Amino acid sequence: MDRKKGNYKVTYLILEHNYILHLPETSHLMASQRKISEIQRFEIESADDAGIRPKAAHGLASLQVGGSHNLSYTLRDHKNYLRGKRQREMAYGQTGSMLMYFQEKIAENPSFQYALQMDREEQIANIFWVDAKMLTDYAYFGDVVSFDTTFGTNKESRPFGVFVGFNHFRETVVFGAVLMYDETYESFKWLFETFLKAHDGEQPKTIYTDQDSAMEKTVKEVFLEAWHGLCTFHIMQNAVKHLAEPDNEEPSTSPNHASESCDKEPSILSDFSACMYEYEDEATFEHAFNIMRIRASKQIWLDSIYKVKEKWAECYMQDVFTLGMRSTQLSESLNSDLKRYFKYDFDIIRFFKRFERLVEDIRNNELNAEFESRKKIPRIKMRTPMLIQASKVYTPSIFEAFQGEYERSMAACTTALEGNNEYLVAIGSLGERCTFEKEYKVIGNPLEQTSTCSCGQFNRIGILCGHALKVLDLMNIKSLPLQYVLKRWTRKARSGTVQDNQGRKIIEDPRLGDMLRFKYVTCKFLHLAHRAASHPSCTDNTLDILSKKVEEEISGCTNTTDTPAAPMNVKSGEYSLPKEKGGGNKNLKAQKNLA
| Residue range 218-251, pLDDT digits in tens | 999 999 999 999 988 888 888 988 887 655 444 4
Beta strands per DSSP E along 446-549: 450-453
Please choose, from the candidates 321, 338, 394, the residue with its C-alpha nearest in 3D space to the C-alpha of residue 174. Answer: 338
What span, in angstroms and rounded, lies between the C-alpha atoms of 343 and 350? 10
Quick one: how far is CA 140 from the chain centroid? Answer: 15
Q: Angle 232-243/268-277 helices, nearest 10 degrees?
A: 160
What span, in angstroms and rounded, lies between the C-alpha atoms of 137 and 115? 19
What span, in angstroms and rounded, lies between the C-alpha atoms of 475 and 463? 19
* pLDDT of 403: 96
Residues of the chain with pLDDT under 70: 17-18, 86-93, 150-157, 245-266, 327-333, 335-336, 341-345, 430-434, 537, 539-540, 558-595
Contact status, residue 425 vs residue 437, Cβ threshold 8 Å: no
3-state SS string for 52-90 = CCHHHHHHHHHHHCCCHHHCCCCHHHHHHHHHHHHHHHC
What dihedral do alpha carbons 353, 358, 359, 365 form, nearest 10°? 150
Residue 464 CB neighbour total at 10 angstroms:
23
Beta bridge partners of 164: 146, 174
| Residue range 350-372, pLDDT digits in tens | 888 888 888 998 999 999 999 99
* pLDDT of 410: 92
Exposure of 466 by Cβ count < 10 A (0-12 exposed, 13-18 middle, 19+ buried)? buried
Quick one: how far is CA 53 from the chain centroid? Answer: 24
* pLDDT of 465: 96
Helix (H, G, I), strand (E, B) or coil at 115: strand
Residue 278 CB neighbour total at 10 angstroms:
14
Phi and psi at 388, nearest 5°, equal -60, -45
* pLDDT of 485: 96
Please choose, from the candidates 245, 194, 193, the residue with its C-alpha nearest in 3D space to the C-alpha of residue 224. Answer: 193
DSSP 562: P
What span, in angstroms and rounded, lies between the C-alpha atoms of 587 and 311? 30
* pLDDT of 534: 75
Contacts of 114 by beta carbon, 8 Å cutoff, 6+ apart: 102, 105, 127, 128, 129, 130, 593, 594, 595
What span, in angstroms and rounded, lies between the C-alpha atoms of 150 and 144? 19
3-state SS string for 216-261 = HHHHHHHCCCCEEEECHHHHHHHHHHHHCCCCCCCCCCCCCCCCCC
Cα 578 to Cα 158, 171, 592, distances in angstroms: 10, 36, 17
User: What angle is formed at CA 19 by the lines to CA 18 and CA 22, rounded to 5 degrees?
Assistant: 145
